[in-house]
Structure 1
Amino acid sequence: MKRPLIIFTAVLFAATLLLVGYLGGRRQNVTTAATMDAPSASTVTARKVLYWYDPMVPAQHFPKPGKSPMGMEMVPKYADGGSAARGVRIDSATVQNLGIRTASVERRVLSSAILVPGTITWNLREASTISARVDAVISKLQVRAPYTKVTAGEPLADLLAPQWNSALAEYYALQQAQSADAKALRSAARERLRVLGLTPADIRSAHRGSGATITLHAPRAGVVTTLDVREGQRVSAGQTLMTLNGLATVWAEAALPQAAAGSVHSGTPVMVTTDALPGQEFHGRVETLLPDIDSATRTQRARIVLANPDGRLSPGMFVTVQLSPASGAAVAVVPDDALISTGQQTRLIVADAQGRFHPVAVRIGRSSGGYTEILEGLHGNENVVVSGQFLIDSEASLSGALDRLNDAQLEPAKAGSAHAPATSHAEHAGHTMPMEHTEHPGAKP
């Protein structure tokens, strides 16, 4: 009896010791956990924590800090919309592995060259209309097809006109007159011939010939663009016989978008190229901006005068027009690759000296040569991320940095101007524009 009792007493004593040890260890763990939570409690005193979450799975909420089921250190979500830290911190090794590159905000003069399509047309200032001044009959056509090239003074057509013949006969009859009245009549006859359209060359030609026909000559070198009569046709006074266009100069009409038309004016230098003449450049200046806007394309035409001594530019030819408005002042610019566009706003990722990355909303201006002008949001001395910024932007969205950016109020334009004095990166949250909370698909922190 004594031996079983002794064994039972020993087992009971051992169980008592195990129970005391378990309770003591659990109490020690609770104490340790409370000690570890002490900083968080002080933080809660300053800023109320709503819940804790895993940045990889922000939809899961936990009542206290620690490791998430995925093994990630959880971060707090505060009632004021902030998180544990301002911005996103990435260690240098990760920065190198992800290939994150930064570039400084710099000031430069953006190239203002504008490339637009254009078309070559006739210079209508060099157009001439050949018409009949009197009723006549086309006895012979020297030019029998449209688009025939002619030289200055070349015969175009022979006309048989009774009215011209009678005026010429009167003028010849008074050639030998010596009296003052006869000389006055001869001057009047000569003026009548001029009014009827006969030049001194026509009068001399008719005097040497039979006088029955008058030959019309080309007033300038060019191309007969229209031929409206045929040989043997009767024409009336004022009727157009043909149209002559010069090719010494041509017009190039460029289609300017409305955004670019404001920087182009009369005298703007222009360079014209065409695929039909590779390697050749034609230089000129804008003569005028035509006042009408094409309702279909919303473009305004610029008329450019180009010298064409060899006739290489033909009307109807398609060309590329490069206009070079006067360059402006230097402005703050960033590489195009640094911009993150959400469709409603544009932002950048700014890197500070402490290794943190901050999203900053900006307002952009012109773009040229791979750079974009920054009108508001930066101060001019920042480093912006140009490679890997989408990964950082996604991490900023998960960690709550974008929430603070969304809640920030936009300060006056002068405070956010790209020309203002430089300030620390920590101040960026105070001069950004409202921004939608946007996560980039496919990116992970």
Structure 2
Amino acid sequence: MISSGLIGFVAGHYSADRPPAVAGKKNQHSSPALSAASEAEHVSYVCPMHPEIVADQPGDCPICGMPLVAHTHAHTPQNSAFPAVKISPTVAHNLGVRLAQAHTGTMQRKIETIGKITRIDPTARQILTPPISGELSFVADKDAGDQVKKGELLFAVSSPELLALQQEFQQSFTDGDRQSATQMLPRLQQYGLSAEQISRLQQGEPPRLAAQVFAKEDGFVFFRRGAVGDPVNRGFTVFNLSGNTQTVEVTAEIFERQWNWVETNQQAWMTVRGLPGVHFKGRVVRVEPPVGYTTRSLEIKIKFKTDHPGLSQSMFAHISIDAQSRNNILQIPKDAVIRTGDGDRVVKLLDDGAYQPVAVVCGEASAGMIEILSGLNDNDAVVASGQFLIDSESNLQAGLRRLANDNGQRQPNAIDD
């Protein structure tokens, strides 16, 4: 709000042959309608040519001398600075208006980044070592060149440490100490017991189960070491396997805000510009600690199994990662949001069929959807296509409303045929 004293000061310096208009006094340009409007609540007076000149009483603009126009705030629609717009079905069809509904659900995060092929292993080696120190109680009869199948048992390890932990777990479970038993589960899994073996312990099977190691994928034995009864430690290589396809390792970087989105074993996709239409499917295998104070980036490693001859080391590729999802997120299509310098807004469909721009606060955007933090409710209908023309019409009506006086002048409130 510009005070009346400041208005008078500007007017005195602008024109010497015209007396300055002082807010609070009527002049020859004032109309009875403006005088009546000044008595209403929430009425301000604005110059139609200089909207920064605002007074709480009728008068002239100190810059251009035009009469100030009454602006009644009571007529402004609630929750929006823009009036609603009525559109006939024919015009809506011609404008290509398409509606979408705000809904609360799961937002699937996707990370799009650029990666570089840092390593190609033509043998796709896989080294299998014991999960705990002990002695070999079983070794599959496989020699170099023999084929292995995914899920096939390759060797087992017995360990006094593992047997003692099994006894303690079974005793706690039998005594009803579920809290202590639950706390031991991660260690049992770390030492190589499967969920099926743990279930057998809970059912009372004697606690002398061995840690078992299975083949993670189809392949061939490159070499095998050890026999039943041999002592082994966690770094001892029992089987060295080679897969049927080569392994392509890609190094990529993600932004700081995406640090907690990525975990190992998440699915990833790769495309290369030189191979249009070809998509490679892989998984995240390693997430490095945060690096780079200036770039604030995180380095990740992704592996793809493929024999495609078009891939070579040092090639750049586009990487898409299916990151962790978020639940109970109010979201709308990203295309429905109008980005402006004054903030974001959407065009909302009202109950009476009119369209009204409303301000919104947006959050994360992913997979074509954007999170709405405030401004909309669940099941609100918004315009997802053609909203810019409706928003422009509402802006035009808002400008005409500001210029209007109380002479009963009709304001356009619809887009007719």
TM-score of the two chains, using structure 2 as the length reference: 0.45
* Greater relative CO (CA pairs within 8 A, separation 6+): 2
- For the pair shown, which has the larger CA radius of gyration, 1 or 2? 1
**Which protein has the bigger helix share?**
1
TM-score of the two chains, using structure 1 as the length reference: 0.43
